[in-house]
Amino acid sequence: MPSRTGSHRPAGIGKSLSERGLLLLIVLVLLEGSVLPLGAASSPDISHKEDLDKHKVPEENYTKKAFPVLDLDYHHVHTPFEVSLWVLLASLMKLGFHLIPRLSGIVPESCLLITVGLLVGGLIKLAGEKVPPVLDSKLFFLCLLPPIILDAGYFLPIRPFMENLGTILMFAVVGTLWNAFFVGGLLYAVCQIQPANPSILHNIELLPCLLFGSIVSAVDPVAVLAVFEEIHINELLHILVFGESLLNDAVTVVLYHLFEEYSGAGTVSVLDCVLGVISFLVVSIGGVLVGAFYGILTAFTSRFTSHTRVIEPLFVFVYSYMAYLSAEMFHLSGIMALIACGAVMRPYVEANISHKSHTTIKYFLKMWSSVSETLIFIFLGVATVDGPHAWDWTFVTVTVILCLVSRVIGVIGLTYVINKFRIVKLTTKDQFIVAYGGLRGAIAFSLGFLLDENLFPMRKMFLTAIITVIFFTVFVQGMTIKPLVELLAVKKKQEAKRTINEEIHTQFLDHLLTGIEDICGHYGHHHWKDKLNRFNKKYVKKCLIAGERSREPQLIAFYHKMEFKQAIELVESGGGIKLPSAVPSTVSMQNIQPKKPPTAKPAERVLPQLPKGREEEIRKILRSNLQRTRMRLRSYNRHTLVADPFEDGFGDLLMKKQKMIELEKKIHDMNNYLTVPAAPPDSPTMCRARLASGKDTDFKPAQQHKGNTICPDPQAYSMKPTSDSVPTIHVDLASPQSPDSVNVMDEFKRASKKRDEEDQGLMMRPSTGLRHAGEADGGKEQQKLTRCLSDPGPSADEEEDEPFLP
Amino acid sequence: MGASQTRTVHKYQDLADKTGFSLEQIKNLYQRFQHLSGNEETISRDNLESIPALANNPIRKQIIAAFFDKRNQHQDEVGSCNEIGFEQFLMVMSHFRPPNAKTTEEEKEAMRKEKLRFLFNMHDTNNDGTITLVEYRKVVEELLSNSGDIGQEAAKAIADAAMLEVASTNVPHMGPEDFYAGITFEHFEQILEGLEMESRMHIRFLDVNTATMRCGKSQS
């Protein structure tokens, strides 16, 4: 708390100078990090030199003039210009696909993007230019891949990931090893048995084959993400395939370096194998450790950012990037470092940073990753057109077939083993999807691209085969997986957001299971998880989270988050009519409050007999007030952003939030009185139907008016409690009667409001649900108002019903 | 000796049929039971309360109460007892069995119901078929009991919000004078639908014995 209250400006000036210096340094480092490789990637390129030559001619022309009013110096900007052009192209393409209505439903975006890449590459080639080596490995690994992986790591659903870690690791490590050796070995065998015509395949040795196998066998996170995001598969399958694609990076890296190293020498000894295993452990665990280290560093840094909120997101990005680079520096698994970094930092960073920074991080990560992904697929297309190809039918077909076969065998074999240990077994359908979802992507291509032409004379053939496999998996499997998922009726992801009840019960269950384990006296998962949680709460959170929040239990944090979200929704909707849409019902606190003197109700209910116009007015006032407070605070400040009412420290935030909630309650209550819902509570189906038909709290159903006018009438009450037992049919039964009764009662008003009465007679006939719908549309407020004054309400009807009931 | 051996095996077989545990698991649990009870025939609340590992569990009281709740012992009785024998102990434990590959869909459904009923009974302390707001508040309070004052303050608000949520999802339309009495079992099932209790609410009971068991014992 003390550090939070210090966030008000006067205290922060002295410190912020030095801090800003530090930040500047970091920004520079970041810029260097991100721009240099870009430049390095695209500048040593002959096509640009041609550009340069071309543009020199006009330049000379211009310099002869006295003063160049308009100058053309393309070379000066060409690198960033081209980069922006690519990004723009990618973004526009992404935009375009979603404008074409049915296209994106049939073809996955990744396929479309590759096609665009092919077209662009083809155009460049037709124009006679040399296709730029866009998918340069350096560019790919240093610029395009990290955002995607960070996005995946930061938003990794940790719980399912950890729960299935064993399965994921099994697929990632053993599965990838199996694939690599199966594909590599059999490929070598196939290359050897071809006695008839002499071909280059005979020259291929075992090690390059294994290297090729290790490149082509790894499931690619980018491709998997691109496809799986679209098919909305259930969480378990998603995390299995996706987790595998992330964690197999370490295996791929080690295998790649191992085989690359020894394919020159030609032999691998047992010692090398042992070293390889050790190296695998070092690469994977080292990567995770590096990531975790940077993650903790990020969390720790974010503890002190309460004075300079603007740069908060930057820390997340820069530290993560540093983690990636540091890991890559030692040939550790950069992907695993990023994943670990993102997953470790997230809970702490989220507690420290402001809400806005959190949103910024979310959007930036999503934006970067989606642009990167788009670029990768486009570049893949371009590189395909560009690449020096050596097409060999045997090699390519055998590769594709072997990839598929090894994947299927691997998955089936591994699930057989895994299912012995799993509680939730993987069904045949699951296995099929896991096997089928093993898409290959740009990582394989980039690794193939990195091969040294001198060491591997068959590099071109390898590249062609890799590209074919990628295209096959992305196009054929990627396009068919969606229909297959639907055909097999694989369970899909439920979109429902987490409710507070679920949160309570998840926690309750955790504690319960821990307790039962303790009583059983053996220490299983829950016990250790509990230990870890307690350690986290006791020590780690204190160090990494500033202020009050470090002591906040998870449940309370969740509740606050939810409350906060609702408050924001409320403000953003401007307190408009749609307000209670978050809770699409008219149930309010008083419905669940156990002890409530029933006498208080009539008084309460008489009070807010607001006509609709008046209600609107109140809403307007409230809204404009809210806007004004927000407006006042909205002054531009480069360093502190807008001093948002939500962000001046936690205490303040709580207070504001409380206010919001109160306001919401007020409006909600007001709404409630105005929208006292259908008196005869409809059957569940009817409720649902009405829910589906729209937010019917927005309606001003007739009953509410009745309720308001009749409220002193005890009949209204006598009717409500029975509501659950009275089916809607009663109303229907009554319907022939009701117009009459109404007419009798309103005889004297009839003359003056004839039209109105007709309307009413019509309205009374169907059950109330329909009536609402009928009245909701059309601005018949005036009518309704008059009617509610005259309408005796359904209670009268009900009374008359009684004799009709059997 | 031999006779008693066969008798215990026979008894175990009975229990195994009743609870669905394997003989090995029952043996393990029996050892644990004896350890907890101090070689007595029955186990009392004090025995469970003295388990050191439980000391930090915020819902310790409910867990222990669940063991002595007659509703959880597949009998039609209501109320709680002071001491339970091994069979009752096993009955309570059997709620935490994982589903295995052989369980059919119907069995799974039954298992889910049973597990949910167990949870529901933990919350519904007075056995009136609903979890009232007061009971729910109590649950949340216990959950947050380790976090001191903030917890207690927030607990009420959270329970209220949760109750409101249940009420609004299950009975979307209520007049201000309607009263939502509490969460019935059906509503309870509905709100926990997304949690997949049947597969989640389980612990791994040890199949193979002794070494780990000993180790666990010596620590506790």
The model's pLDDT over A781-806, given as tens digits with 9 standing for 90+, comes to 444 444 444 444 444 333 334 343 33
Q: What is the pLDDT of residue B153?
A: 73
Nearest to B158 among A559, A591, A672 (CB): A559
Does any domain span residue A70?
A: no
Nearest to A425 among B101, B162, B164 (CB): B101
Based on the fold, state whether residues A459 and A514 are members of the same structural domain: no
Task: Give the minimum alpha-carbon distance from A737 to chain B in angstroms, rounded to a whole number.
Answer: 25
Interchain pair B151, A585: CB under 8 A: no
Interchain pair B203, A524: CB under 8 A: yes
Q: What pairs with residue B43 in β-bridges? A: B84
Contacts of residue B167, Cβ cutoff 8 Å, sequence gap at least 6: A585, A587, A591, A592, B174, B180
Which of A441, A386, A380, A373 minimizes the C-alpha distance to A91?
A373
CATH label of the domain that carries residue A333: 1.20.1530
Q: Which residues of A touch B177 (CB under 8 A)?
A: 598, 601, 605, 717, 720
Per residue in A193-227, pLDDT tens?
765 555 666 677 788 888 888 888 888 888 888 88
Q: What is the pLDDT of residue A322?
A: 93
Q: Which residues of B touch A504 (CB under 8 A)?
A: 139-140, 143, 158, 162
A494, A516, A696: which to substitute to probe chain B, counting the most B Cβ within 10 Å?
A516
Q: Which residues of B touch A665 (CB under 8 A)?
A: none
Q: CB of A383 within 8 A of CB of A133?
A: yes
Of A541, A567, A593, the position where a domain reaches its end is A567
User: Exposed, middle or buried by CB within 10 Å (0-12, 13-18, 19+), for A791?
Assistant: buried
Contacts of residue A616, Cβ cutoff 8 Å, sequence gap at least 6: none
Pairing mode of beta strands B130-131, B83-85: unpaired
Q: Which residues of A touch B152 (CB under 8 A)?
A: none
The answer to whether B102 faces chain A, any CB pair under 8 Å, is: no
Reply yes or no on whether the pLDDT at A701 is more than 60: no
**C-alpha distances in Å from residue A526, one per residue of A423, A652, B31, B139:** 15, 37, 21, 20
Amino acid at A87: V
Contacts of residue A260, Cβ cutoff 8 Å, sequence gap at least 6: A211, A451, A455
Per residue in B25-49, pLDDT tens?
888 888 888 888 887 778 888 887 8
Q: Which residues of B touch A553 (CB under 8 A)?
A: 144, 146-147, 150-151
Contacts of residue A605, Cβ cutoff 8 Å, sequence gap at least 6: A673, A707, A708, A711, B176, B177
From chain B residues 138-157, the ones with a CB under 8 A of any chain A CB are 139-140, 143-144, 146-148, 150-151, 154, 157
Based on the fold, state whether residues A406 and A534 are members of the same structural domain: no
Q: Is A330 left (phi over 0), alpha (psi -120 to 50) or beta?
A: alpha
Number of domains in chain A: 2
What angle, rounded to 10 degrees, do the helices at A235-265 and A221-231 form? 160
Based on the fold, state whether residues A349 and A428 are members of the same structural domain: yes
Grouping H, G, I as helix, E, B as strand and the rest as coil, residue B80 is strand
Interchain pair A585, B139: CB under 8 A: no
**% of chain A at pLDDT higher than 70:** 59
Task: Give the minimum alpha-carbon distance from A591 to chain B in angstroms, rounded to a whole number.
Answer: 5
Nearest to B173 among A419, A586, A593 (CB): A586
* Closest chain A CA to residue B153: A556
Q: What is the pLDDT of residue B137?
A: 82
Based on the fold, state whether residues A521 and A483 are members of the same structural domain: no
User: Is the pLDDT higher at A162 or at A57?
Assistant: A162
Q: What's the average model confidence in pLDDT over A545-558?
A: 70
pLDDT category of residue A758 using cuts at 50, 70 and 90: very low
Based on the fold, state whether residues A410 and A514 are members of the same structural domain: no
User: Is the pLDDT higher at A616 or at A309?
Assistant: A309
Q: What is the pLDDT of residue B76?
A: 64
**C-alpha distances in Å from residue B92, one per residue of A618, B67, B69, B80:** 57, 6, 9, 13
Contacts of residue A604, Cβ cutoff 8 Å, sequence gap at least 6: B176
Provide the mean pLDDT of chain A. 69
Pairing mode of beta strands B183-184, B83-85: unpaired
Of A488, A510, A530, the position where a domain reaches its end is A488
ipTM: 0.86
Based on the fold, state whether residues A538 and A457 are members of the same structural domain: no
Reply yes or no on whether the pLDDT at A722 is more than 50: no
Nearest to A522 among B132, B175, B206 (CB): B206
Does any domain span residue A627?
A: no
Contacts of residue B3, Cβ cutoff 8 Å, sequence gap at least 6: none
> What is the model's pTM?
0.67
The answer to whether B96 faces chain A, any CB pair under 8 Å, is: yes
Per residue in A251-265, pLDDT tens?
888 888 888 777 766
Numbers of helices and strands, H then E, in chain B: 11, 4
Interchain pair A592, B133: CB under 8 A: yes
User: Is the pLDDT higher at B205 or at A316?
Assistant: A316
Task: Give the minimum alpha-carbon distance from A667 to chain B in angstroms, rounded to a whole number.
Answer: 14
Interchain pair A515, B59: CB under 8 A: yes
* Closest chain B CA to residue A669: B176
Based on the fold, state whether residues A546 and A444 are members of the same structural domain: no
CA triple A594-A600-A601, angle to 5 deg: 85
The answer to whether B200 faces chain A, any CB pair under 8 Å, is: yes
Give the count of Cβ contacts less than 8 A between chain A and B.
215
Task: Give the minimum alpha-carbon distance from A169 to chain B in angstroms, rounded to a whole number.
Answer: 20
Q: What's the average model confidence in pLDDT over A448-474?
A: 85
Q: CB of B120 within 8 A of CB of B186?
A: no
Does any domain span residue A681?
A: no
Q: Which residues of B touch A523 (CB under 8 A)?
A: 216, 219
Per residue in A21-45, pLDDT tens?
444 444 444 444 444 444 444 434 4
Q: Which residues of B touch A563 (CB under 8 A)?
A: 161
Does any domain span residue A162?
A: yes
Interchain pair A588, B164: CB under 8 A: yes
Of A534, A567, A600, the position where a domain reaches its end is A567
Reply yes or no on whether the pLDDT at A530 is more than 70: yes
Reply yes or no on whether the pLDDT at A188 is more than 70: yes
**C-alpha distances in Å from residue A95, one per residue of A143, A243, A370, A468, B158:** 22, 29, 11, 27, 42
Interchain pair A681, B171: CB under 8 A: yes
Interchain pair B51, A518: CB under 8 A: yes
- Mean pLDDT lowest among A320-334, A422-436, A576-590, B122-136: A576-590
The domain in which residue A364 lies consists of 137-488
Phi, psi of B81 (to 5 degrees): -115, 170
B177, B192, B199: which to substitute to probe chain A, counting the most A Cβ within 10 Å?
B177
From chain B residues 110-129, the ones with a CB under 8 A of any chain A CB are 119, 122
**C-alpha distances in Å from residue A655, one per residue of A48, A366, A480, A549, A646:** 59, 32, 53, 15, 9
Based on the fold, state whether residues A271 and A348 are members of the same structural domain: yes
Locate A246 and state its tokens: 């992330």
* Closest chain A CA to residue B27: A520
Reply yes or no on whether the pLDDT at A765 is more than 50: no
Per residue in B93-103, pLDDT tens?
888 877 766 66
Query: Can you tell me the distance from the alpha carbon of A211 to that of A451, in angstroms, rounded to the nearest whole number?
Result: 10
Interchain pair A505, B63: CB under 8 A: no
Grouping H, G, I as helix, E, B as strand and the rest as coil, residue B85 is strand
pLDDT category of residue B86 using cuts at 50, 70 and 90: confident
Q: What is the pLDDT of residue B175?
A: 65
Interchain pair B213, A720: CB under 8 A: no
Q: What is the pLDDT of residue A77?
A: 86
* Closest chain A CA to residue B206: A522
Task: Give the minimum alpha-carbon distance from A349 to chain B in angstroms, rounded to a whole number.
Answer: 21
* Closest chain A CA to residue B139: A508
pLDDT category of residue A405 using cuts at 50, 70 and 90: very high
Interchain pair A594, B132: CB under 8 A: yes
Per residue in A9-18, pLDDT tens?
343 334 444 4
The answer to whether B61 faces chain A, any CB pair under 8 Å, is: no
Based on the fold, state whether residues A321 and A241 are members of the same structural domain: yes
Phi, psi of A648 (to 5 degrees): -85, 65
Task: Give the minimum alpha-carbon distance from B2 to chain A in angstroms, rounded to a whole number.
Answer: 28
Per residue in A628-670, pLDDT tens?
544 444 444 555 554 444 444 454 555 655 666 666 665 555 5
Does any domain span residue A148?
A: yes
Query: Can you tell me the distance from the alpha carbon of B213 to that of A120, in angstroms, rounded to the nearest whole number?
Result: 66
The structural domains of chain B, ordered by start, are: 2-132+181-211 (1.10.238.10)
* Closest chain B CA to residue A549: B150
Interchain pair A594, B134: CB under 8 A: yes
**R_g of chain A computed on alpha carbons:** 34
Query: Can you tell me the distance from the alpha carbon of A100 to that of B42, in angstroms, rounded to the nearest whole number?
Result: 72
Residue A70: other Cβ atoms inside 10 A: 5
The answer to whether B65 faces chain A, any CB pair under 8 Å, is: no
Interchain pair A555, B143: CB under 8 A: yes
Based on the fold, state whether residues A519 and A459 are members of the same structural domain: no
Task: Give the minimum alpha-carbon distance from A418 to chain B in angstroms, rounded to a whole number.
Answer: 13
Q: Is A54 left (phi over 0), alpha (psi -120 to 50) or beta?
A: alpha
Based on the fold, state whether residues A481 and A531 are members of the same structural domain: no
Locate A289 and state its tokens: 């450790």
Query: Can you tell me the distance from the alpha carbon of A355 to that of A345, in angstroms, rounded to the nearest whole number?
Result: 16
Does any domain span residue A266?
A: yes
Does any domain span residue A605?
A: no
Residue in this structure with the two tokens 């640009």, named with its chain if needed: A48
Q: What is the pLDDT of residue A523?
A: 72
Locate A725 and state its tokens: 């037992």
Query: Can you tell me the distance from the alpha carbon of A37 to that of A44, in angstroms, rounded to the nearest whole number?
Result: 11
Q: What pairs with residue A270 in β-bridges? A: none
Q: Which residues of B touch A555 (CB under 8 A)?
A: 140, 143-144, 154, 158
Q: What is the pLDDT of residue A194?
A: 60
Based on the fold, state whether residues A477 and A555 are members of the same structural domain: no
Q: What is the pLDDT of residue B178?
A: 66
The answer to whether B3 faces chain A, any CB pair under 8 Å, is: no
Residue in this structure with the two tokens 């000066």, named with its chain if needed: A76
pLDDT category of residue A692 using cuts at 50, 70 and 90: very low
Locate A459 and state its tokens: 């590099």
